[in-house]
């Protein structure tokens, strides 16, 4: 019965004490600072790994070739490793092209219509040179037709 008497006494709210309030504020700030540090370290690590993979692909292909020539890996393993490196290299330019495709296309107009504000402009024509005749200098001769078996 006397325990009820102890609990029935009025006490001040412990959450309103300045020590508790400042302690909660301090813990909150510490948690936010820790999250910021983890975020910064993660970005730094990812940036460092991206730089390593960019310069490392050519070096890895060279080391794979050396391993193949010394007999450490088979020709099939070398071909598979070379294919993987080629895929990585091809994906990077494709990603750059995909980023440029996100931009809106330039407005186009028919080639026969003059630009706005110009009235005496010649239409755009193909400016590639005509093909060289066979036998001209610098042009390889055409191969002879295959013999007919008639």
| pLDDT tens, position by position, 6-56 | 555 667 788 888 899 999 999 999 999 999 999 999 999 888 777 655 556
Asked if 71 contacts 77 with a C-beta cutoff of 8 angstroms, the reply is no
Phi/psi for 20 (5° steps) reads -70, -45
Q: Are 86 and 64 in contact (CB under 8 A)?
A: no
Q: For residue 37, what pLDDT is reported?
A: 97
* Integer Cα distance of 93 and 51 in angstroms: 16
- Under DSSP, the state recorded for 16 is G
Task: Work out the average pLDDT over 107-129.
Answer: 57
Mean pLDDT over 66-93 rounds to 86
DSSP string, 24-55: HHHHHHHHHHHHHHHHHHHHHHHHHHHHHHHH
Q: What gap in Å lies between CA 56 and CA 62, rounded to an integer?
A: 10
Q: What is residue 87's predicted lDDT score, i.e. its pLDDT?
A: 85
Cβ atoms of 68 and 78 within 8 Å: the answer is yes
pLDDT for the residue numbered 19: 92
Average pLDDT, the chain: 74
For the entire predicted model, the pTM comes to 0.32
Q: Cβ distance 142 to 134 under 8 Å?
A: yes
Of the candidates 94, 91, 70, 68, the residue with the CA atom closest to the CA atom of residue 81: 68
């Amino acid at each position: 019965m006397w325990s009820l008497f102890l609990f029935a006494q009025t006490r001040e709210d412990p959450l309103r004490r300045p020590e508790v309030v400042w302690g909660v504020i301090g813990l909150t700030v510490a948690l936010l600072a820790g999250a910021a540090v983890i975020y910064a370290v993660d970005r730094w690590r990812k940036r460092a790994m991206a730089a390593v993979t960019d310069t490392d692909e050519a070096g890895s292909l060279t080391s794979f070739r050396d391993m193949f020539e010394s007999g450490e890996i088979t020709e099939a393993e070398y071909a598979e490793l070379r294919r993987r490196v080629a895929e990585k290299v091809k994906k990077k330019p494709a990603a750059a092209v995909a980023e440029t495709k996100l931009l809106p296309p330039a407005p186009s107009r028919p080639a026969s219509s003059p630009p706005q504000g110009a009235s005496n402009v010649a239409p755009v024509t193909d400016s590639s040179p005509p093909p060289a005749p066979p036998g001209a200098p610098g042009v390889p001769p055409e191969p002879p037709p295959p013999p007919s078996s008639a």
